[in-house]
Amino acid sequence: MPFEIAKLKAPSVQIKELIEDMYAMTRHTRNELKTMVYWSIATHGHEWLRVFPLLRIFGGTNTGKTVTLHMVEDLCRARKSPTGDYITGALFVKIKGSTPSSVRTLISNAANTGDTCIYDEADNFPYEYFEGVYAKAGSQTYKLKQEKGTFELDHSINLWAPLAMNGREVLSDESYQNRTIEITTSYDERGARSLVYEEGQFSVYRQLCADIASEIDWEAIKPAMTRVLDVWAPLRAVAEHLNDEDFLVYVNEVVTQTIKDGLEGRADEGDHQVLNAIIKLAHDAVVNRGESFPMELPFSTIGGEISFSSREVGKWARAMGLETKKKGVFMIHHLTPQKIEEVRMAIGAMEDEWLTGLLDLRD
């Protein structure tokens, strides 16, 4: 259908039709495609946001990563010419083999011109730039430049630009993962479902994406309590504006699972291990031996549960804000179910059913 006719339809209807066309040209799920499209819409509101997730297309060879990235290129923010036409030649870049400084310059150029960074073959992306791309407050970086024989700091580098990329390697660091929305591609010998994508064919929707973004109050998005909520906030804003309840349910499921995975991933960290040992010892005392809740536990007893030295237990106990004292031996004291629950919530440890039940009985 010609775009001039499509413009008579509501924006939400046009976006649905766009999603269906993309669905026919890929093996992505509809929610994955909505993620790409809503991220692209949000790039048009990027300048009013304080944090913005990186979008990463992950998969092996011949899985359609580049096609997916080109679809994002068709819809995302781009600079305009004096006559109001979009200039898109600088959006898509293969950065394989590029030096960190050259990538930094590319990002800074996009920040200054109002472009989006679309990077193909980006496994060598310099990850030290993740924070600058993700958070506006950390986007200003510096480099040395030489002026008449004297080295001075160049303050012109700005990394605050929306960035999408693809890659075949897994993001190994959690700090990179939790600033990124990742979509996985997989090989399917059948190829696309029914239609073949032609590079640039969805660019007619770029202005629609910009128009939708212009109707959203981006500055109303407030800081969230967790990183994962911050990451998905711009896409949630788009979904709410388009009344896409299905996608909001999907995002809630992703957020819930991400938080759960994060808690499970942190279970081996020292503070979590010490806290879990305290809960286990308290459970054994109350349930198995019929004693009252232990208000004091020696460092050595806690350490024996997890093969920690008394020094390590003391370090983590103090870091969590637990009171310690020496009474012949060093120990944690003034332990109560309420105090343990406060610490659990503060460090983001997984909920313990027995402790929760104990607190419910005391309420």
Please check whether residues 156 and 24 belong to one and the same domain.
Answer: yes
Please check whether residues 73 and 169 belong to one and the same domain.
Answer: yes
The pLDDT of residue 148 is above 90: no
Task: Write the CATH number for 283.
Answer: 1.10.10
What pLDDT was estimated at residue 322? Answer: 95
Which tens digit of pLDDT belongs to each residue from 272-294? Answer: 899 999 999 999 999 999 999 99
Which tens digit of pLDDT belongs to each residue from 51-98? Answer: 999 999 999 888 999 999 999 999 999 999 999 999 999 999 999 999
Distances (CA, A) of 323 to 253, 297, 312, 334: 37, 11, 15, 7
Say how far apart CA 346 and CA 344 lie, in whole Å.
5
Please give the tally of structural domains in the chain.
Answer: 2
Mean pLDDT, rounded, for 141-151: 51
What pLDDT was estimated at residue 152? Answer: 46
What pLDDT was estimated at residue 129? Answer: 92
Please check whether residues 75 and 183 belong to one and the same domain.
Answer: yes
Please check whether residues 198 and 312 belong to one and the same domain.
Answer: no
Tell me the pLDDT of the chain averaged across its residues: 90
What pLDDT was estimated at residue 357? Answer: 87
What pLDDT was estimated at residue 144? Answer: 45
What pLDDT was estimated at residue 2? Answer: 46
Mean pLDDT, rounded, for 4-19: 84
Task: Write the CATH number for 109.
Answer: 3.40.50.300
Distances (CA, A) of 8 to 1, 14, 152, 166, 353: 11, 9, 55, 35, 55
Say how far apart CA 88 and CA 91 lie, in whole Å.
6
What pLDDT was estimated at residue 141? Answer: 57
The pLDDT of residue 114 is above 80: yes
Mutual angle of helices 310-319 and 270-283, in 10-degree steps: 100
Which domain does 188 fall in, by range?
3-215
Structural domain includes residue 307: yes
The pLDDT of residue 106 is above 50: yes
Structural domain includes residue 242: no
The pLDDT of residue 198 is above 80: yes
Which tens digit of pLDDT belongs to each residue from 209-264? Answer: 999 999 999 999 988 878 899 999 999 999 999 999 999 999 999 998 887 777 55
* Cβ-count burial 50-72 (b if 16+ within 10 Å, e if not): ebbbbbbbbbeeebbbbbbbbbb
151 — pLDDT class (breaks 50, 70, 90): very low
What pLDDT was estimated at residue 109? Answer: 96
The pLDDT of residue 3 is above 60: no
Please check whether residues 208 and 344 belong to one and the same domain.
Answer: no
Structural domain includes residue 130: yes
